Every structure is written in structure tokens, then in C-alpha cells.
Chain A
Amino acid sequence: MRIAIASGKGGAGKTSIAASLARMWPVPHILCDTDVEAPNLHIYLHPSLNDEEPVSIAVPGKVNQDLCTACGLCRQICGYGAIARFGKRISVFPDMCHGCGGCFDVCPTGALVEGTRALGGISLGSLGDGTPYLTGATRIGEVMTPPLIRALLSRLDDVERESHDGRDVLLDSPPGVSCPVMTVVSRADAVLMVVDPSPFGRSDFALAYEAFSRTGRKLACILNRAGQSESGDAAVRAFCREHDLPLLAEIPFSERCAAVLSRGELPFDAEAAWKSIFRDAAEKMRALFTGDCHD
């Protein structure tokens, strides 16, 4: 069972909630930080990581002008403006390429020379208790994140296979509701939505619900930073009731917890209820998503 922990709005608290759930997860599991533009889960969980493995895509690197007849078929098939023709000469712009490979397939003379563009890297490792941990980070200046996320998730497939026990996977997901998070959700079985009850948070929550519900994945919510505005909290509860969304926990806001989290620590000591809230939420998630009850 792969559970994506997602939020729509950035900063809703999904990473600290993912880390807290991981700490209270009652059975062996795997952790994967798929927020490759801004990976942060390691800050709370301190995995030891192996060296980063580079990830790149195949792009047209250059044109062999001796073979090129400037027929322009490559330029026609490219949907991304990565190939242009100036007079009788074809030029390629690897930065614009999405890696569809159409240009190579369509070139009648094999004049395009394959090159690579670095997308970023992925790292594997584990927590102190042996929990496998995967993360990735985009190269600075790189536009495309989904192919790096796909590479990360296919490494996750390997790690899952090696663990042999069909264990649960918690995925810290990218924010937003477009390609990066949808790449993760499409490869997950269930989505835990972390909701911030501010007006901005509620607006983004509604957009996220619209995007995620369409994928047919099982959904549930956690209300974060509750207790700051009664009407905001009530609006989130009403939305959940109306859309039949299980609301698994409400996490009270406190400046004290925010300060602890800002240091990269989880407030298990600072906030007495933290432990029971997350133990309970983890059990409910397992019961809801996997139908498995653990006691």
C-alpha cells in the first residue's frame, strides 16, 4: 500500500506530518520523499544516505551535419520547440527537450546524435531502525520534475521488491495540483490530504480534492493547525462531511510546536498529545486504506 501525503497548498505541514506518522507507523514500512524540488523529510528523520545517483534524459545532443539532409521531419514532430531549422541547417536546443524521442525515431538518416541532460539525482539509504529511505533532488535550473520523480518511483519499485513483505510505503509528495504531484498520486494507492484551515489553505484544498478524487484513489484528510479560527476549522469539517472524506485527525496549532518544528525536530516531547494523535491517525489510515487492523 503506497500512501501519498499531499496537500495542494505548500507549507500546509505535510512533511512534518509525514515524519510524525512515520515515527508512529505500527509496522515496518518504506519512506520516500518525492518532493524533489524542495526535499525536506530528511531534516526531521535523519536518514543515512548513499551517494546520489545521477538521473538524466536522452535528448538530441547535436546534429551530424554530414548526415543531415535538413528535411525538417524532426522539427515537425517536436512539440516542445527544441529543434529549429535555420536555412539549410538543423539546430537542437536540449534545454527545451522533454525526452519523447520522436526526433530520433523520425530521422531518416540517423543524423541526430544522442546526448543527455542531467535532471538531478536520487539517493537511497535508511533510518537508524533500518527503515528504507529514498529521496531525490532536481538539478538547480532544471525545469522538468516528473521524469526525475518517475525514476525515483521506479527505484522504489526495486526497494519494495527486495523487501519481499509487501510493506506500506509513505510518500511525502510535492505541493500543488499539477504534474509533479499527479505523477506521484498516479503511482500511489491512497492519498492523505493535509489541510491548512486558512482561507488560502481551504481554497487549495478544494482544488486538490478535485484533482485527486478524479484519480479514483482512496482519500482521507488530516486537519493541521486547528484552533486558530473556529469558522475555518468548521468549513474544513463541513467540506469533509459533504464529500464523504474521512477526517482522521485534527492537530492543534501552537506557537511552541511551530518553534520546535522550525528546528527540524518533531514535537513529541513539547506537545503531550502529539504521540497519541499520530498513533491513532496511523492506525486509522491502515484500517481505512489497507483494511488491516493492528493492535
Chain B
Amino acid sequence: MTEQIAPKSRPAPLREIVVISGKGGTGKTSLTAAFAACAAEGGNAVLCDLDVDTPDLHIVLAPEVRESFEFRGRGKAVVAHPLCVACGECGRHCRFGAIVPGEGGKPVIDPLACEGCGVCKAFCPQQAIMLPEIICGEWHVSETRFGPFVHAVLRPGQENSGRLVSLVKQEARNLARKIGRDTLLCDGSPGTGCPVISSLSGATLAVCVIEPSLSGKSDFERVASVCRHFRIPVGVVINRCTLNPDITEQLEAFCRQEGYAIFGKVPFDASLVRTTAAGLAATEEDTPLARTIRDIWQRIDTFKAPLLQGRPFIPAAPAGS
């Protein structure tokens, strides 16, 4: 009898669902929490909050923190004045206008303008400039009633949010592989810049929560272009669709034209604010709203994304952004 050669076991690729919004305040986090409750029934998901700037998902998930870690990043330049000879070399090299001459011509660093690039430090003939590494935030691995949860918070006003987003996502991936779960469900960050692009890195599906307003439409068009730019499949949920039926219709037409999946529409429902205030996900109750959201999750969960041409390329998070 010939021996069967077992195929090399390879970890199954993770499914990475990232809920984004373009515009803030469209209900992305409330819906992510509601989806998390549904996903918990399958027992296959690891949850993560990639909005490290202003994280909110923990408010509904009420995590029990199991492990916490510091997140360090580059700080701002600091001048050791006793060593400084006021040669002005640092100021000549700074392209961010962060160094201005102070008392006795010695440099003063504006920490809000400093990028932390370290060019001044490299060119200081006296080695009078330091760039201390600082704690920019914390990240945690937690347990919640909906499953494991990786989350973080950037210290207010700090930079490096893109790097922290990448780190949280990577840790969530590692955890998913370790405990044998095949799905990441992520609350993404708002906007179209550094943190959202880091959120989308590696995503297999971007679920865009849109609000039917002119500003919501404009922001959705921008963030959908970002997804397209990085070749990430897009599906949408139109939240508070009853607030403006005309724009809702325009959004649906736009999605059909662009080939974006429409997972569903959620009517405006004032009870969502009360549910959230009570620390519950909308789908933990039995209401018409909960049933609507459950159906939407069902469609997301079973969605087969069309194959997109080309390999997505997303630059790794730059160090200082």
C-alpha cells in the first residue's frame, strides 16, 4: 500500500471584516457591537477595535482585561541646553518649522510642530539633542461576553496612531491563529487617512456604514475610493435610512452602479441610544431593530467577495503618523 502523503498544513487564511464609515458618527461602533453579538453565536471571531484614537467599542463590550502592554513610539526632540552652543545647525535642517531660536540663540523646540524625525539630532555637532522614546498608548488583550477582544488607546494628542492600529490588528491575527478562530471583526477608524488605511491593510471585506446625508454621501464616496485604490471589496449598510429616503435611494443606486454589495438598511431608531447607554448591543434584545441587524450580519457573514484584479498594496504604517 502506498503511503498517503499528507498535504502540508498551512494556516487557513483569516477573514478580516473591517467596519468603516468615512464620516464619523454614522453608527459604525453600535453596529459593530451588534454584529459582534451575532458573530459570538458562531464562536469563530476575534474582535478588535482599530479606532485607537477615540475607541468606543469597549463601552458596549465591557472587556475583562487579561493582559496589558505599553505602546512606545518616537517622541519629540529635546535639547540639552548645557551642551548646546547655539550654532543653529538644527534649525537649518528642520523642515517642519519646529525649531526656533530662543534665549541666547539656543533652539526652542515646538513639540506640536516636531515630527520626531531625528534629523536635528543627527546633525547636531554637540550631540545636544535627544529623541527619547515615549509611551504613546496602551493595548490590551481582553475577554468579553462576545469572545476575545484586542483593543488599544492612544494617549490623547499623541502620534503614531497608524502604527498602533497595525499592531493591534497583528496581535488580533496572532490570537485568532493561536486559538483557532478564522474571522477578525474590526471596528475601523473614521476618515480616509493614516489610521483608516492601516485599518484596511489585509482586510478581506470593508463594511461601510453610511448615513444618508449629503456629508455622509460625500465621505462614503471618498472612503470607497480608498478601498478601491487598495483593492478591498466594499459592502454597505445604510444606517438611519428613514432620515432621508431620497439620499438613501441615491446611495443604493450609486452602490449598484459601482458594484458595492448592499447588506441592508437600518431605520432611524431612538432606542439605539438607550440600548447603548445601558451597555447592550442592539442584537442582545429581541426587537424589530435587532432582527434587521441580524439579517444584515447574516448577509455579511455569508458574503463571497468577488475576486478583485491585482494584489492589494498598502504601505506599512509610517512611524510617525
Contacts and interface: CB of A to CB of B under 8 A. Distances in A.
Contact of A263 (B118, B190, B213): B213
A100 interface: yes
A180 interface: yes
A262 B244 contact: yes
Interface residues of B, number: 73
B122 A77 contact: yes
Contacts of B243: 255, 258-259, 262
A149 B321 CA distance: 14
Interface string B113-132: 10111110011000000000
Given A10-B190, A106-B122, A80 B320 contact: yes
B93 A38 contact: no
Given A179-B159, A262-B212, 15 more contacts: A10-B24, A11-B24, A38-B191, A40-B218, A43-B214, A43-B218, A93-B315, A100-B96, A100-B115, A143-B317, A144-B194, A174-B191, A176-B195, A177-B54, A186-B113
Contact of B193 (A10, A40, A180, A228): A180
A132 interface: no
Interface residues of A, number: 68
A200 B157 contact: no
Interface string A236-261: 00000000000000000001001101
Contacts of B321: 98, 143-144, 146, 179
B215 A40 contact: yes
A153 B189 CA distance: 25
Interface stretch (B40-48, B175-183, B273-281, B299-307): B273-281
B105 interface: no
B23 interface: yes
10 contacts: A12-B25, A37-B193, A77-B118, A95-B315, A140-B226, A143-B315, A176-B191, A200-B30, A200-B276, A203-B56
A247 B113 CA distance: 30
Contacts of A8: 54
Contact of B119 (A100, A214, A261): A100
Interface stretch (A63-71, A108-116, A160-168, A205-213): A205-213
Nearest to B320: A98
A229 to B, nearest CB: 6
Nearest to B21: A10
A40 B190 CA distance: 14
Contacts of B5: none
Nearest to A35: B191
A214 B26 CA distance: 29
A177 B162 contact: no
B222 interface: yes
A259 B244 CA distance: 6
B296 interface: no
